[in-house]
A and B are shown apart, each in its own frame.
Chain A
Amino acid sequence: MNTTSIMIVGVGGQGSLLASRVLGNLLVDEGYDVKVSEVHGMSQRGGSVVTYVRFGDKVASPIVEDGEADFIISFEKIEAARWAKCLKKDGKIIVNTQEIDPMPVITGVAQYPHDVLNELKESGAFVDELDALSLAEQAGSSKAVNIVLMGRLAKYFHIEYEKWINQIEKLVAPKFVELNKKAFALGYNA
């Protein structure tokens, strides 16, 4: 069973649902069997969130576990480290270097480990860092971090650029399509 596993991780409210929708629908159109597992409800409220996307000829489990992810797309720095144990030895982490303090850091009971990505790299993980927040702002909205990161993921995929853009046109509200196309391009070319 040849299944590719992707994790989209971040902080509730960062727009990972749209990212997984773009990716999932693209993969369906490419003829794959696809499963996407989301998180709703209480964990959305500024908590750590994870979405799993799996595709292949026939996908069984909708979730991704330790050592199984081909890609981890992290919307925030320490979220990449939190889920890094799920990465395959030859998997790739794409990470937005934005730092969002979790409540224990805000209240001073924990420290934010600013250097955690270097530790991951030293342990041999492939880490592709980009400042997706600045790129999203450059595209016109800080909310487009999700699409910037999809653009980045597209670089590692065999699927044509235009097909990604078609999904954005299908799934994003018309007035935000241009902004998101720009965000996608910025991520792709970063």
Chain B
Amino acid sequence: MKKLMIGNEAVARGIYEAGVKVVSSYPGTPSTEITEFAAKYDEMHCEWAPNEKVAMETAFGASLAGVRSACAMKHVGLNVAADPLFTLSYTGVNAGLLICVADDPGMHSSQNEQDSRHYAIASKVPMLEPSDSTESYEFAKAAFELSEQFDTPVILRMCTRIAHSQSIVTIGERENRDRQTYVKNGAKNIMMPANAKHRHPVVEERTNALTVFAETSAFNRTEMGGTDIGIITSGTCYQYVKEVFGDSVSILKLGLVNPLPVDLIRNFASQVKRLVVIEELDGIIETHCKNLGLVCEGKDLFTPLGEYSQKSIAKVFGLADKECFDTQTAIPVRPPVMCAGCPHRGLFYTLAKNKVTVMGDIGCYTLGAQKPLDALDAVLCMGASVSGLHGFNKALGNDSMKTCAVIGDSTFMHSGITGLVNIAYNNSNSLVIILDNSITGMTGHQQNPTTGYNIKGDPAAKIDLESLCRAVGIQRVRVVDPYDLTACDNAIKEELEKNEPSVIISRRPCVLLKSVKAKPPVKIDTDKCRSCKKCMKIGCPAISMVNGKAHIDATLCVGCGVCEQLCAFGAIE
């Protein structure tokens, strides 16, 4: 059957057909849909884990018990899961284990554009990189055989363009597999020094064997065309190269990007006049070629920044730009914004008004950094708001400064709890605000341990945030409704004044949740409006100025009432 699928759906299909029984992941753009599509198949146990480390360790346990397993994460998620990854390389697998990681060149939805191939090299784990949905499906499926053949986890490297581009996939049937027997084997599975010392040589031998495999593997292929230019490439860049050159150049397309072949590359290089490596982000294949003593071009021509395209590649080869239209008028930028009625807005407004230094975190609420709210001071990575605040406050000592951390419910579950433990244990006078909108928002509404539902939408154990905060040693825990500006203001002022750690839970479900019913839109009484623009300070996309007076877009407004509380003239009702 032929089906148009995004790369992530194709990966899920490959995982399904490989007979996988356990999939554990943490959502993160652009990887999220792998697990969402996988969860549609009832034959597999699929779950949202609290973070990527837990997800990978769950997949490890399932593989050890003898069933094929997988986990998926975005590139920065692999940082969190790096600890199990490096030692999983030593233990190897019982049944096949696939780690899907999605890079985000161009940072469509990420805080950096790290290149995950470094992890494959550093952990000595094979990595596959597909170039469209068909390969996403085929590579995901084939990864399990590779994993079992070489007794290693396998990484499938996606990128935004592959993960979120649809192309046609011809799908097959699920292979039903019995659980492989679990046999206790401490020498292989208990990674303490005495055992690990014997496993490291196994890893080195495996890399040698995989390098030999790479020479002839069907994952890598040569497409000989004109021999004036020979291009070594992989993933989405392969498609751009084909778009620009068709069959007029020779291409070595690498699907197995770690370990890289030696003779295959040398042989290809010997057949072309000019050797160019085209790879997004870092020059990893290029460095490999240069280490082989080959003369090649790469990052001297191409940037390590952002995504490539047919245009950027054509430009490097001096091909003419295509004719295009150009408008002289300046088109205002349209950055993403917090939704009308977003429960985070009232809280951010209050923090900005009180001139609080705010350590931010990863989620929709990172948008609080944008003008006019301009409410954040720093954003680093998942959980860093809480632990960063602790360090900030320790550095301040007795210097007086109003500070707090803001972190979403899902991010708090992911890696905020340990930071809060540190605040309590090492006693800093820190205020942590948990923005509890009852869902993982930014990645498109995934359940998490605070929501009371699992990935399938079935009822599940629900973390009680108030009890959790008290249990780690925070005495002052209070809940506010972020739609109530007075309550927010009082809570923030009071907790900032206290000389002890405290937590405010700002609780109001995401307005985009189906269970949240919008109230009727508010209206402007233009006779009462004095054009003071106070209501514009909250950056609500539903409010604009029309003919000098405030105007509400009734199709966007959900009647949250935050602007109404700001108007000193009672013009909003």
Contact = CB atoms under 8 A, between A and B. Distances in A.
Interface string B286-326: 00000000000000000000000111000000000111111
Given A45-B367, A60-B239, A60-B243, A81 B329 contact: yes
Contacts of A61: 239-240, 242-243, 309-310
Contacts of A62: 132, 161, 165, 167, 236, 239
Interface in B366-388: 366-367, 370-372
B324 A85 contact: yes
A112 interface: yes
A116 B539 contact: no
B167 A35 contact: yes
Contact of A125 (B311, B325, B366): B325
A42 B108 contact: yes
Contacts of B309: 61, 63, 65
Secondary structure class of chain B's binding surface, majority of residues: loop
A35 B242 contact: no
B555 interface: yes
B235 to A, nearest CB: 12
B539 A103 contact: yes
Interface range on chain B: under 10, 10 to 19, 20 to 34, or 35 or more? 35 or more
B327 A119 contact: yes
Given A24-B4, A34-B167, A38-B166, A12 B539 contact: no
B363 to A, nearest CB: 10
A39 B109 CA distance: 10
Interface in B321-370: 321-339, 364, 366-367, 370
Contacts of B338: 45
A46 B337 contact: yes
B334 A47 contact: yes
A183 interface: no
A110 B332 contact: yes
Contacts of B157: none
A174 interface: no
Given A38-B6, A61-B310, A46 B541 contact: yes
Contacts, number: 189
A190 to B, nearest CB: 21
B568 interface: no
Interface in A99-122: 101-108, 110-113, 115-116, 119-120
A112 B330 CA distance: 9
B325 A41 contact: no
A33 B555 contact: no
A37 B329 CA distance: 28
B506 interface: no
A163 interface: no
A28 interface: yes
Interface string A60-76: 11110111100000000
B246 interface: yes
A110 B330 contact: yes
B212 interface: no
Nearest to A1: B246
Contact of A39 (B108, B337, B371, B536): B108
A78 interface: yes
B334 A107 contact: no
A37 B108 CA distance: 13
Contact of B168 (A28, A38, A46, A113): A28
Interface residues of A, number: 62
B164 A39 contact: yes
B543 interface: yes
A41 B442 contact: yes
B334 A103 contact: yes
Given A41-B109, A60-B240, A62-B167, A28 B336 contact: no
B334 A48 contact: yes
A45 B364 contact: yes
A135 B438 CA distance: 36
A105 B370 CA distance: 14
B184 interface: no
B310 A65 contact: yes
Given A45-B338, A106-B536, A120-B327, A36 B4 contact: yes
Contacts of B324: 66-67, 85-89
A36 to B, nearest CB: 4
A102 B332 contact: yes
A84 B166 contact: no
B243 A123 contact: no
A25 B166 CA distance: 10
A142 interface: yes
Interface string B461-472: 000000000000
A105 B32 CA distance: 33
B443 A41 contact: yes
A24 B394 CA distance: 56
Given A41-B108, A142-B555, A46 B326 contact: no
B410 to A, nearest CB: 15
Nearest to A25: B4
A158 interface: no
Nearest to B311: A65
B325 A120 contact: yes
A11 interface: yes
Nearest to B322: A67
A6 B515 CA distance: 36
A43 interface: yes
Contacts of B168: 28, 33-34
A113 B555 contact: no
A44 B338 CA distance: 10
10 contacts: A37-B164, A41-B109, A42-B109, A45-B336, A66-B324, A89-B324, A103-B370, A107-B371, A107-B372, A115-B329
Given A45-B339, A125-B325, 5 more contacts: A40-B164, A43-B336, A47-B337, A61-B239, A84-B327
A-B CB proximity, top 10 nearest: A67-B322, A41-B109, A41-B29, A47-B336, A67-B324, A110-B332, A102-B334, A60-B242, A61-B243, A62-B165
